[in-house]
Structure 1
Amino acid sequence: MPREVRERQMVDAAVEVFARRGYRTASMDEIAELAGASKPLVYLYLNSKEDLFSACIRREAEALIAAVRAAADPAAPADRRLWHGLRGFFAHTAAHPDGWAVLYCQARSHGEPFALEVAALRQRLVDVVTQLIADTARDGGCVKPLPGEEVSGLAHALVGAAESLAGWSNARTGSGGPGHSDREAAETLMNLAWAGLENLANGRRWAPARP
């Protein structure tokens, strides 16, 4: 069997085991058995448990970024790009719950170097969403250009909300609850974002009431 195929099987198995067991308690024996390979072969190809976990993080991160970018059609109007980008995010996280669990739950909780790789993924998502928000505000006829810092802050908030909503929905689905479909999750967040962007575009800013 070609090495790249065998490695893909090993990473597939590792994602499933790490998602279910967690990094600390995941067993290389279980990963090897699930992959249909010997443990020495897993070590030969992927060096160590730490390197294998890093390979899982990198692969799942690249797949998520690719899904969001592929969904956000650059030829569509800006608001549709934002909508489709959100759909792509939630569709991917719903279809790959183990991969999302590795990224969102496991990698963040075990310090460096894993948390740094997830932070890099998050920044790439923020960069994509920052551009989408700026384009949406501009194409929506914003009466005054939004400051760059505000757009960046909105993008961080939107990505954080998307991460939280995906985690909540996947947890409910995994426990037998109704969960949210990817469309429902995207609509929930799009309505929140769109209402805010529409107000900003028309100069209607919220401010605390004066005493």
Structure 2
Amino acid sequence: MEGLPGVGAVKSKRVPRAIREQQMLDAAVLTFARRGYRTASMDEIAELAGVSKPLVYLYLNSKEELFSAVIRREAAALVAAVTAAVEPAATADRQLWSGLQGFFAHTAENPEGWAVLHHQARTHGEPFAREVAALRADIVAFVTEVIGMAAKEAGCVGELADREVAGLAHALVGAAESLAEWANARTDEGPSGEREHPTARDAAATMMNFAWAGLGSLMGGQRWTPGGLAGREGRSAPMGEREGTR
């Protein structure tokens, strides 16, 4: 199996523990993403990292603890990427837009890490699922804050109950996770005929068009009802008869 970059050059040298651990975690991310948690072997991880299996056990104790360490590292990296991308002083929609670009850029650049978080960790129960739930809670909290800010900017604070804001945040995060999976799996033909994934900007724009356009109507006092759209005055109108859409 092809090793990680630079491993061969340092295999026979004394490497600081922190660097060696990162090499092991890098190898573990690739192996868990490709093989799955149950099928992945410590032998394979050690070989890919360019170390002995006893050294992996010495540093990381067990396969379960290694997997937990991978989840914590990848989750922290994702949260850091989204946080760094957000424009803190911007309007709510700009904050969400920049955060989404950071999210989609990171998941595209780290598809194996995203696969471990989005698929492997969720399917093997505790304690792994709990680690991912904590990550998701951080992101949902950010989106909840953004939606609350948008409501304040639109002057409709109080019209959106806390429960509804939380539900909207969970729905938006779930849609973004699904879109990231789709974007990583999909390839489109580029201008030169090469196959390429949708860009982070394209994915973020899709998400904004899907979610924020609807939130914009909600912030404007228009809600969907089985009979059409109801405005702040209780007026109900068929979808095609909204102002500016005839």
TM-score range, shorter-chain basis? over 0.9
Other-structure match for 1:95: 109
- Of the structure 1 ranges 41-50 and 110-119, higher mean CA displacement relative to structure 2 is found in 110-119
Query: Structure 1 residue 190 and structure 2 residue 208: aligned?
Result: yes
Question: Match of 1:206, SS?
Answer: strand
1:171 corresponds to: 185
Q: Structure 1: 5+ residue runs without aligned partners?
A: none
Contact 1:86 1:186 in 2 (8 A): yes
Q: Summarize deviations over 1:162-191 as a string: whole Å, max 9, x none.
A: 111111111224xx9654211111111111
Going from structure 1 to structure 2, the CA distance change for 1:64 and 1:143 (only over 3 Å counts) comes to closer
Larger Rg: 2
Shift of 1:135: 1.0
Identify the residue that residue 122 of structure 1 maps to in structure 2: 136
Aligned length: 208
Taking the aligned partners of 2:64 and 2:185, their CA distance within structure 1 comes to: 26
Structure with more of its chain in helix, by fraction? 1
**The 10-residue stretch of structure 1 (13-22 or 136-145) with the greater mean CA deviation from structure 2:** 136-145
- Provide the rounded CA distance (Å) in 2 between the counterparts of 1:156 and 1:170: 21
Q: What TM-score, normalized by structure 2, do the two folds share?
A: 0.81
* Partner residue, 1:133: 147
* SS of alignment partner, residue 75 of structure 1: coil
In structure 2, distance between residues paired with 1:13 and 1:132: 36
Residue 15 of structure 1, aligned match among 17, 22, 29: 29
Displacement over 4 Å in runs of 4+: none
The aligned residue for residue 62 of structure 1 is: 76
Distance in 2 (CA, whole Å) between partners of 1:201 and 1:50 is 46
Which of 119, 125, 128 matches 1:105?
Answer: 119
> Aligned match of 2:44 in 30, 37, 44?
30
Seq. identity, %? 68
Match 1:205 to one of 198, 202, 223:
223
Give ranges in structure 2 of 5+ residues lacking alignment.
1-14, 188-193, 229-246
Q: Distance in 1 between matches of 2:157 and 2:55?
A: 61
